[in-house]
Chains A and B, each alone.
Chain A
Amino acid sequence: AQSVTQLGSHVSVSEGALVLLRCNYSSSVPPYLFWYVQYPNQGLQLLLKYTTGATLVKGINGFEAEFKKSETSFHLTKPSAHMSDAAEYFCAVTVPYTGNQFYFGTGTSLTVIP
């Protein structure tokens, strides 16, 4: 079975500072990994995804994540936080062709301090 752990349910950063949101996964087979962002009263928006190939993945709004198989991690980073980055972030994992089920982490609420 797959599982996802997001360390830190709340993260605060100053505007312009580095954003680092942590995600570790458990999977017995190579997974697909995703980061979603959710703004208040909205649905989930895909930030970036890793399926195969290059392990450093770039997404929208200046975010990127690196798949590290040896560490079973897929941490999300952004060099410089903007006020508009304040939102809820979810990491998710799925194993393709095994029943279409997604496994979400518990989420990290990002606050950006002016």
Chain B
Amino acid sequence: DTEVTQTPKHLVMGMTNKKSLKCEQHMGHRAMYWYKQKAKKPPELMFVYSYEKLSINESVPSRFSPECPNSSLLNLHLHALQPEDSALYLCASSLLGEQFFGPGTRLTVL
């Protein structure tokens, strides 16, 4: 298995909802990432997990809460989001410097 999968593909949520994004890879990669991407912009790094421990948090608001339950799975828990949080959320894993990206979750916050 040489891909990163993300669910759901699309998510619409209200500002009071709680939802979670899921990312999975079975390539044995020990570094995993969450990015936020706005249209026509490069991905912005949010979080990095290395060996299941949070190693980088790019000053992301606490309404985004990452979790790495095991070496194959990465979650992003969402609560009380704002409309400006609407974006494409990308997950990636890496090995020897190369990053492998999932297809993303398109999030719309109403």
B40 lies within 8 A of A101 (CB): no
**Is A53 an interface residue, CB under 8 A from the partner?**
no
**Is A42 an interface residue, CB under 8 A from the partner?**
yes
Interface of A is mostly: loop
What residue in chain A is nearest B42 (Cβ atoms)? A104
Q: Count A interface residues, CB 8 Å.
A: 27
Q: Provide the residues of chain A in CB contact with B99, threshold 8 Å.
A: 34, 92, 94, 102
How far apart are A10's CB and chain B's nearest CB, in angstroms? 10
Per-position binary interface string of chain B over residues 1-45, scored 1 when its CB falls under 8 Å from any chain A CB and 0 otherwise: 000000000000000000000000000000101000000111101
Q: Provide the residues of chain A in CB contact with B106, threshold 8 Å.
A: 41
Give the size range of B's interface with the partner.
20 to 34
**Is A105 an interface residue, CB under 8 A from the partner?**
yes
Q: Provide the residues of chain B in CB contact with A95, threshold 8 Å.
A: 97
Identify the stretch in A14-22, A43-51, A55-63, A67-75 within 8 Å (CB) of chain B at 4 or more residues. Answer: A43-51
Q: Provide the residues of chain B in CB contact with A92, threshold 8 Å.
A: 99
Which of B's residues lie within 8 Å of A, judged by CB? 31, 33, 40-43, 45, 48, 50, 55-56, 88, 90, 94, 96-104, 106
Which of A's residues lie within 8 Å of B, judged by CB? 32, 34, 36, 41-46, 49, 51, 88, 90, 92, 94-97, 99-102, 104-107, 109
